[in-house]
Amino acid sequence: MELVVALGIGVLTGSGVWLLLRPRTFQVIIGLSLISYAVNLFIFSMGRLRTGAAPILQAGEVGDPARYADPLPQALVLTAIVIGFATTALFLVVLLAARGLTGTDHVDGLERERR
Amino acid sequence: MMGWSDHLLVAPIALPLVAGALMLFFDDPRRFIRAGVGIAATVANLGLSAALLLSVDASADLTKVYLLGSWPAPFGIVLALDRLSALMLVLTAVLAMAVLLFSLARWHRVGVYFHPLLQFLLVGLNGAFLTGDLFNLFVFFEVLLAASYGLVLYGGGIARIKSGMHYVVINLAASFLFLIGVSLLYGVTGTLNLSDLALRVPLIAPGDRMLLETGAAALIVAFLVKAGMWPLSFWLPGTYAAAAAPVAAVFAIMTKVGIYALLRFSFLLFGNGAGDSAGFVDQGLLYGGMATIGFGMLGILAAQDMARIAGFAVLISTGTLLAAIGTNRSDVTAGALFYLVISILALGAFYLLVELVERGREFGADMLAVTREAFGYTEEAIDEPDEVVGPLIPSMMAILGLSFLASALLISGLPPLAGFVAKFAILSGLLRGIAPDGSIAGTDWVLVALLILSGLLVLIAMCRAGIQAIWGAEDREVPRVMLLEIAPVVGLLLVCVGLTIWAGPVLAYMEATARSLHNPASHVSNVQAAPHIKPLSTESGK
Model confidence pLDDT, tens digit, residues B438-447: 677 788 888 8
CA B390 to chain A, closest CA, distance in angstroms equals 33
Beta carbons of B215 and B260 less than 8 angstroms apart: no
Q: Which of residues 55-84 of A touch B (CB under 8 A)?
A: 72-73, 76, 79-80, 83-84
Residue B18, classified by CB atoms within 10 Å of its CB into exposed (0-12), middle (13-18) or buried (19+), is: middle
The per-residue pLDDT for B340 is: 93
CA B145 to chain A, closest CA, distance in angstroms equals 9
Q: Which of B113, B158, B167, B169 to mutate to test the interface with A (most CBs of A within 10 A)?
A: B169
pLDDT of B372 > 90? The answer is no
CATH 1.10.287 fits A2-49+70-102, yes or no: yes
The per-residue pLDDT for B322 is: 92
- For chain A, the distance separating the N- and C-terminal CA atoms, rounded to the nearest angstrom, is 49
Cα–Cα separations (whole angstroms), residue A87 to A35, B165, B306, B535: 13, 12, 31, 37
Give the chain B residue whose CA is nearest to the CA of A86: B146
The per-residue pLDDT for B3 is: 67
User: Residue-wise pLDDT tens for chain A (115 aa)?
Assistant: 889 999 999 999 999 999 999 988 899 999 999 999 999 999 988 888 888 777 777 777 776 777 788 888 888 999 999 988 888 888 898 888 888 888 888 888 777 766 5
CA B114 to chain A, closest CA, distance in angstroms equals 17
Which residues have CB under 8 Å from B392's CB, separation 6+? B478, B480
The per-residue pLDDT for B142 is: 92
Among residues of chain B, what percentage have pLDDT more than 70? 87
pLDDT of B388 > 80? The answer is no
User: Higher pLDDT residue, B6 or B367?
Assistant: B6
Beta carbons of B327 and B514 less than 8 angstroms apart: no
User: Higher pLDDT residue, B476 or B209?
Assistant: B209
Q: How confident is the model at residue B413 (pLDDT cuts 50, 70, 90)?
A: confident
Closest to B143 measured CA to CA, from B127, B130, B154, B160? B127
Specify which residues A24 forms β-bridges with: A106
Q: How confident is the model at residue B537 (pLDDT cuts 50, 70, 90)?
A: low
Pairing mode of beta strands B78-81, B64-67 = antiparallel
The per-residue pLDDT for B343 is: 92
pLDDT of B488 > 80? The answer is yes
> Which chain B residues contact residue A57 at CB under 8 A?
none
Which residues have CB under 8 Å from B58's CB, separation 6+? none
Q: How confident is the model at residue B387 (pLDDT cuts 50, 70, 90)?
A: low
Q: Does A28 touch chain B (CB under 8 A)?
A: yes
Beta carbons of B343 and B426 less than 8 angstroms apart: no
The per-residue pLDDT for B155 is: 80
What stretches of B327-435 show up as alpha helix (H) in DSSP?
330-358, 369-375, 396-412, 418-431
pLDDT of B399 > 80? The answer is yes
The per-residue pLDDT for B319 is: 92
Model confidence pLDDT, tens digit, residues B166-223: 899 999 999 999 999 999 999 898 888 888 888 888 888 888 888 888 999 999 999 9
Q: Once rounded to an integer, what is the mean pLDDT over residues B310-335? A: 90
Q: Give the span between the Cα atoms of B198 and B275, in whole angstroms.
A: 11
Closest to B361 measured CA to CA, from B305, B302, B300, B301? B305
Q: Note the pTM of the prediction, 2 decimals.
A: 0.89
CA A53 to chain B, closest CA, distance in angstroms equals 18
The per-residue pLDDT for B373 is: 47
Q: Give the span between the Cα atoms of B435 and B283, in whole angstroms.
A: 17
Among residues of chain B, what percentage have pLDDT more than 90? 28
DSSP string covering chain A:
-HHHHHHHHHHHHHHHHHHHTSSBHHHHHHHHHHHHHHHHHHHHHTT---SS--SSPPTTPPP-GGGS--HHHHHHHHHHHHHHHHHHHHHHHHHHHHHHHHSS-BTTSSPPPP-
Beta carbons of A53 and A67 less than 8 angstroms apart: yes
The per-residue pLDDT for B392 is: 59
Cα–Cα separations (whole angstroms), residue A110 to A25, A102, B157: 12, 7, 15
Specify which residues B139 forms β-bridges with: none
The chain-wide mean pLDDT, for chain B, equals 83
Q: Give the span between the Cα atoms of A102 and A95, in whole angstroms.
A: 11
The per-residue pLDDT for B223 is: 92
Q: Give the span between the Cα atoms of B336 and B320, in whole angstroms.
A: 8
Closest Cβ opposite residue A76 in set B158, B175, B183? B183
Which residues have CB under 8 Å from B237's CB, separation 6+? B299, B303, B308, B311, B312, B314, B315
Q: At what angle do helices B83-105 and B503-518 cross, to 10 degrees?
A: 130
Q: Give the span between the Cα atoms of B80 and B260, in whole angstroms.
A: 14
Using only C-alpha atoms, chain A has a radius of gyration, in whole angstroms, of 20
Q: Which segment of A40-54, A58-72, B70-84, B448-462 scores lowest on mean pLDDT?
A: A58-72
Helix (H, G, I), strand (E, B) or coil at B117: helix
Q: Which segment of B6-20, B52-66, B150-164, B528-542 scores lowest on mean pLDDT?
A: B528-542
Beta carbons of B256 and B223 less than 8 angstroms apart: no
Helix (H) or strand (E) holding B64: strand B64-67
The per-residue pLDDT for B416 is: 83
